[in-house]
Structure 1
């Protein structure tokens, strides 16, 4: 399956700017991107629509991770997925340059909470994305127990258009 993720330059700038803001105790920021979908044959196109950052009070103190979301934050994002029938992607940044990757903690935590979005909005795929300062990497859940393919290609739509291959 070929999975493409498209986001405008303005929206990805908003996301990156928010994720760079310091938090009173969390070591990093996280948020959610909502998206629409278009599918044909063996291709899926994910079109980013909006970004919703976590509120400061939705972070939990947990020294084992850079940022831990509260149940309230996940519930709010699940409600948005259910109400809008949108795809929802958890997003955070590792900074730096080039194509990033998920850490072991990212893999473990994504596997815990992303399937919950599928439960409330099964008409969409949902997933997780990690950004660098110049690229992105992501994974999609196709059902609660279905395959979890990686996003094949990202496109930043602006002047100039930027494309990068994120998975083979």
Structure 2
């Protein structure tokens, strides 16, 4: 399916929903809590399928890939910095699986988190590269807290980047939170 099927003009008025199973979310949160020798936090990548109708975009989380310990750089100016091989591996995953890819990390705490200025700067540098190598899907970034999430979707390299409207964690009990 062509990526344009997921795009309304400039992303305005689009209802973007992200669904993930409680099991997958729990394993992601568990991985992101693990300490690392040089990084203050961990990062990973979520693959997702997409479904669209009119101005609705549904993102269905499928799988998670952690970043190997050796792919973290010793950069104390940020919570975590990963090397180019980690980004290349995630880009290859997007191309091979024809999946949407979402960079994910956690700020911990409770309530709906937000991106830091570092997150915004770094996301704007590397998420557009996913769009270049896998233009058949939208891609993005998500930050988790212990109880909620916040995310953004890149519709193209240079168009607007709308926020994910609703997150649903499916399982018992079902959890829903509005993030935008």
Equivalent positions of 1:67-82 (< 5 A) are 67-82=80-95
Number of the residue aligned with 2:159: 146
Kindly state the Cα deviation for residue 146 of structure 1 after the two structures are TM-superposed: 1.3
Taking structure 2 as the reference length, the TM-score comes to 0.92
Across the aligned residues of Structure 1 and Structure 2, the Cα RMSD in angstroms comes to 0.4
Number of the residue aligned with 2:121: 108
Kindly state the Cα deviation for residue 73 of structure 1 after the two structures are TM-superposed: 0.1
- The alignment status of 1:125 with 2:150, answered yes or no, reads no
Deviations, residues 28-62 of structure 1 (Å, cap 9, x unaligned): 00000000000000010000000000000010111
Structure-2 separation of matches of 1:42 and 1:69: 35
Kindly state the Cα deviation for residue 82 of structure 1 after the two structures are TM-superposed: 0.5
Structure 1: runs of 5 or more not aligned: none
Structure-2 separation of matches of 1:147 and 1:47: 21
Kindly state the Cα deviation for residue 147 of structure 1 after the two structures are TM-superposed: 1.4
Kindly state the Cα deviation for residue 145 of structure 1 after the two structures are TM-superposed: 0.6
Give the 3-state SS of the residue equivalent to 1:25 in structure 2.
coil
Number of the residue aligned with 2:58: 45
Structure-2 separation of matches of 1:146 and 1:5: 20
Structure-2 separation of matches of 1:31 and 1:65: 16
For these two proteins, the number of residue pairs brought into alignment is 167
Runs of 4+ residues deviating >2 angstroms: none
Give the 3-state SS of the residue equivalent to 1:100 in structure 2.
coil
Structure 2: runs of 5 or more not aligned: 1-13
Kindly state the Cα deviation for residue 126 of structure 1 after the two structures are TM-superposed: 0.2
Number of the residue aligned with 1:165: 178
